[in-house]
Structures are given as structure tokens and as C-alpha cells.
Chains A and B, each alone.
Chain A
Amino acid sequence: MKTVLNERHLLKRAIEEGYVSTKPTDTIRVLIKHHMRNQLDKTQVRQEVDRFMASHFKFYHPLKWDGVIHRMINSYGKSGDLKLHAVEQAGVTEGELDAIRSLDHVEREKFAFSLLVHCKIANQLRDANANWIEADKDVYDDSLLVLPAKEKRLLIHHLAGCGMLRLPSGISSRKVQLNYVDHQGEPIIVLREFTDFVYHYLKWRGDNRIIECVRCTRLLQRTSNRSKYCRPCAHEVQREQKTHWKRSKWYDGEN
């Protein structure tokens, strides 16, 4: 998931470590909000952001970024939305899961679940969101779909056909409104970690290939009987095993 879920954390890293996120506009956004909250005027904010980017982002080119930063400052100055958002978790209720399960097509279900999680986050980020979500590449990527491109492009059509989505009237909008969001029920899946979150749905659905990493308890899809670790842990364990093997070899060699 590419959406920044914790702007406060991002701001802290930017100020303390000079960190610039993979999408630099995310860092610029939190810096603008921060400086505007500190009552700096537009020119001062512009100078502060410029100074920060010049010293911490090696690909920064003032000419190239001038228009972007200028527009962002104007936009936040106008809207006045300077709150730093922090999404800690997203809960999915039984009613929502049942609605998704009724599609009876695993790939469409994964996509519907991904849309739902993105929608829940969007609702937390914007109070007046009313279950609208932009069905962009991020949603498709998080669905971990195993489908040909042609069929991927028809997923929204299928979901809208089942009455689960409402499409916008405009021709150039990518937004869809979810009709299966349940605001009342008790959540039975609570997501706090948003990497490969679709595995939580597959586990609930009864997919026995979904197992927990023995090291960090993150969910992963078993691809063989030897699968034990999630990808980051697998790298870590491999490195540790190699170090251990080398140490024991040198130790044995000395004796």
C-alpha cells in the first residue's frame, strides 16, 4: 500500500532524520502542513520546504519542483485541512465479509476486499468521504490478483453488475462508491499491518495455504511444504544461517 497511513510518523522522520519518502510529495505535504500549523506564511513555508529538499533530496531540482510545491502550498492554504492523519487500524465486519464471499469468485473477492480496506482508510482520512474510493493501481496491486490484464479491467464491471459498487456519472472519474460497507457491525478482522492484507481475507475464507510466519507471525501464502517465513524474515534467517555456518566453520578450523 502506497498511501501514507501515519503522517505524524513521516513528519517525525523527516525532521529528525531528514527522511524523504519514495514519493517525495508525501514528505512535502507533511512539511507544508507542519509549517502552516506553526503560523508561517506562504513565502516562509516555501523557503522552509525548499531548504529541506535541497539538503536532503539529492535529486531535488528547484526549477522542476517549483510548480508542484507552489500548487500544494496554495491548495493547503485554501482548504485549511492541516490535520496530520494517522490510521492505526481498519476493521472488517462479518456483514462485509459475507457480502464479498457471496461473489463466489476468488479473484473478484480479493479485489472487493482490497477496495473495502482502501475505502475504510479513505473514510478515516477524510470524514465526509461517504465510501468513495479511487480504483487506482494501488488497489489492484494490493489485491494480489492472478488474472489476465483483460479480465482485470472488467472487475469493476462485474462488481457494479452485482450491485456492490456505484459508478460516478462523470466519464473521466476513477472513483467508485462501495455499497457493502457496514458501519454498524463488530469487526472480526482487524488490520494493523497493511502489507499483503488480502491474505487475512483468504485465511478467513478457509484457504489452507495461508500460514503465519514462524518468526514474525505475518501471514504468507505457502508455495511449498517447506515455506515457513515471510519474505523479509526469510532473507534475515538466510543471512543468520550463513553467518552461523561461517562462524562454526572458522571455530572448527581453529581447533
Chain B
Amino acid sequence: MLTTDNQWVMDAIKELPAIICDQKIVDKKLVEEADLIQSNKDSMGDEIGAITNRATSMYDVQAGFVTDSMEYMELDKRIKLCQHYQQNAIDKAKGIKSLPMPRHWYQYRASNEMDKAAQQEEDVSGLNLRLLANKKPYFMIYRYAGLMKEYKAFIKQAEQNALNRFGMEIKKLILKAEKSEEEKKFLAQYQWLLPVTEGPSIMNRLCRKIEAALSFKPRQKRDSGFNYSILMSENGYGKKAYNQVADLYEEYVHETQTYRQLIKQGRADGDADSQGRQRQLFKERFRQMAYACCSNEEELCNILVELCYKSSRSKQFAWDISGEQMIRHLLRHSGGILHYPELDEYGEIEFGGERFTLRTTRMESQGEI
């Protein structure tokens, strides 16, 4: 359970009567293996998350209507009913057959058909289409990578299209006072095809505020001016070996990227421990290949530092293969003196919620590393 006395959260709470959803009950029985299998099958591809997202979308659509208007009240009812449909989706795993969420709440075609059927009552004509929650709200682009990609691609293309047709960006077009018929049609099409809803719901407004706040954050300078020659020795390296290691580096970057994609898609094998072991094996494999390109440890270290530190790309490759040699070079440059932070309650350096003091020691031989 979470408790809070935060005023903002307290103020946002609406005192409403509790909703009790009528639940269907299954007959009691002794659970057998076949029942568990069936239950697993029934819960495959459950709709719980989808129903929750649709309810969130309804809040966004609702924010576009005046409080107490017919549309507002209807959406309020639908949002409350979503809890019932969530309960139904959970019950599905128990083998209880119950009604799913009405399609015309979230599907254009069903909604359109519903409206056509109800056309005789003029005052509610097009009501279902107006209340349709068929898109996720804008802030969800930060939750779903696919949605973010789709949104960005659409915006990029629509912006170029607006420039092609009207010679101005969409923002300017929206603010334009007197719009031509073609411009109105374009904007209507833009709103219709937009993969998300940009309604004035609280979450969307918060999202915009955070975006605005973060957009003023100065970007970190990429070039820190770090003199990487302190990680190298004075002996240089051969061009042939450099080219071979450079090829290996490209392969390393490619394989790392592919693996990251697999992890992102949830397609990587094994748990965290086994992934850690895989990483060790991966490192070892590239270590051996790098030494096959250049057997001189010092020369290899120089090549790796030059390769990784001259650009803004990842330095992990150099540290994976030749980390110890780089430390040796650092020590040689500092005359064997090593400064390191030690955990100290009264230390001057604060990092990660702990305090540290900088200590100094002299490393007598390379074997100590």
C-alpha cells in the first residue's frame, strides 16, 4: 500500500461512491491439470492492458468537452464502465464468459455504423464518432517506442507536406487567421491521421510542460577536450594492424547493436545471470580476435585508444580488450601514484548518496594491478 500527504495528490482525489461491478461466479470444483492448461490458454492475449489504455484515451477525449455536456457525461459513464470490462477480462482466465467492451467505443467502423443506425435522432447524430477513443493519448509516445517512431515519422512527413503545399509549417498554419478551404481540409486530415490524440487532458498537459522544461536544458558538450594520449605509450602502432583492429571494432559495434535490439524487443536468450555470462564470453571472443590481429599488448592498446577516443563513439571496446594495459599507461604517466575515492562518512566528495575521501597510494610494480 502507498500512502501520501502530498497536497497536489490530495487535491486531485475525487470523492466518488464506490463502484461495485456485478460479477459472475463459476461453480466450485477441484482444480486439475487440464483446468490449469485451459486457464492459461484463456488468459493468453488478455485485453486488460488494452482496456486500461482505452479508458486513458477516453480521459483525453473527455478533456475536449465542456463539463456537464452530454458528451462529457457519456464519457464519464464509459470510463466508469471500463472497470467492469477490466474485471471481465480478468475473469476470462477463470473461464467465465462475459461481455467484452463495446467495439463502437474504440473502433471507427463500428462507431460509424452505430451512428448511421441512430441518425433518426438529430441531436445525437455523430455522437459515437465524437466520443471515439481509437488512439492513444500523446504522452504515451514515451511509453511505447513503436508509437513514438510512428508519431515522429508522421509529423516529419506532414511537416514537409505542409511546406510543399502552403509554404509554411503546421504550427503556423494552425495559427493562421483566415484559412482557405484547402488549408482547412489539410488540417482536418492531419488531425484525423495523427497516430495519437493531442487533447488537453492533465497527462498531456503535464507531458508538454516537462518537454518544455527539458528543452531548455543545455546539451552536454561532446568534445570534452580529454587528452587521451595519457592512455597510450610512446611507441605508436603499425598501420596494417590498425586497419585490422578497425574492422574488428566495426564488427563489435554491429554485434553489440544487434544484441541491444534483441534485448529491447525481449528476444534475448536467458535471464540476467546468463546474459552476464554471455557478455563475458562475447568479450573474451573479441579479446582473442584482437590479439590475433596484434599480439603486442602495448601496440594493441595504442590502436584501441586511438580508434575509440578520436570519435564520440563508445569506448567500451577499448576497455573490454585492453583495460589493464590502459591503467598501466596511466600509472606510468603519473609516476605510479594512484588516487582513488574511499567510502568515508565525513568525506568531501558526495556521490550516489554516499560520501568519499580521495586517497593516494603508490603502486610499486605492474603486478599489483
Contact = CB atoms under 8 A, between A and B. Distances in A.
Asked if A and B bind, the verdict is yes
Contacts of A160: 164-165
B interface bracket (residues with beta carbon within 8 Å of A): 20 to 34
Interface in B141-190: 154, 157-158, 160-161, 163-167, 186, 189-190
10 contacts: A58-B251, A63-B267, A153-B163, A157-B164, A157-B166, A160-B164, A167-B164, A171-B193, A172-B157, A172-B161
B261 interface: yes
Interface string A122-159: 00000000000000000000000000000001101100
Given A61-B258, A64-B258, A172 B154 contact: yes
A123 to B, nearest CB: 22
B65 to A, nearest CB: 26
A172 B150 CA distance: 12
B243 to A, nearest CB: 16
B267 A174 contact: no
B254 interface: yes
Given A61-B258, A64-B261, A172-B193, A154 B167 contact: yes
Contacts of B63: none
Nearest to A174: B157
Contact of A171 (B161, B166, B254, B262): B161
A228 B163 CA distance: 41
Contacts of B157: 171-174
A41 to B, nearest CB: 28
A154 B165 CA distance: 9
B160 A171 contact: no
4 nearest A-B residue pairs (beta carbon) = A156-B164, A157-B167, A59-B254, A171-B189
Contacts of A176: 164
Interface of A: 58-59, 61, 63-64, 153-154, 156-157, 160-161, 167, 171-174, 176
A120 B153 CA distance: 28
Nearest to B154: A172
Nearest to B160: A153
A157 B261 contact: no
B37 to A, nearest CB: 29
Contacts of B154: 172
B190 to A, nearest CB: 6
Contacts of B186: 171
Interface string B226-264: 000000000000000000000000010010001001100
Interface string B16-54: 000000000000000000000000000000000000000
A157 B167 CA distance: 6
Contacts of B262: 63
A118 B178 CA distance: 38
A160 B160 CA distance: 13
B161 A157 contact: no
A161 B158 CA distance: 19
Interface in B266-301: 267
B178 to A, nearest CB: 20
A82 to B, nearest CB: 30
Nearest to B186: A171
Contacts of B158: 171-172
Given A172-B154, A172-B161, A173-B161, 8 more contacts: A58-B251, A154-B163, A154-B167, A156-B164, A160-B165, A171-B158, A171-B161, A174-B157
A58 B248 CA distance: 11
A160 B163 CA distance: 11
Contacts of A154: 163, 167
A53 B189 CA distance: 42
Contacts of B165: 157, 160, 167
A134 to B, nearest CB: 12
Contacts of A58: 251
Nearest to A158: B167
A140 to B, nearest CB: 11
B163 A171 contact: no
Nearest to B158: A171
A206 B164 CA distance: 30
A74 B30 CA distance: 49
Contacts of B193: 171-172
Contacts of B160: 153, 156, 174
Contacts of A173: 157, 161
A157 B157 CA distance: 14
A84 B254 CA distance: 31
B341 to A, nearest CB: 41
B42 to A, nearest CB: 29
B258 to A, nearest CB: 5
Interface in B188-231: 189-190, 193
A63 B189 CA distance: 37
Contacts of A63: 262, 267
Contacts of A153: 160, 163
A63 B263 CA distance: 13
B193 to A, nearest CB: 6
Nearest to B164: A156
A175 to B, nearest CB: 11
Nearest to B267: A63
A153 B158 CA distance: 12
A160 B161 CA distance: 12
Nearest to B162: A171
A58 B165 CA distance: 44
Interface in B108-163: 154, 157-158, 160-161, 163
A157 B163 contact: yes
A176 B161 CA distance: 11
Contacts of A59: 251, 254, 258
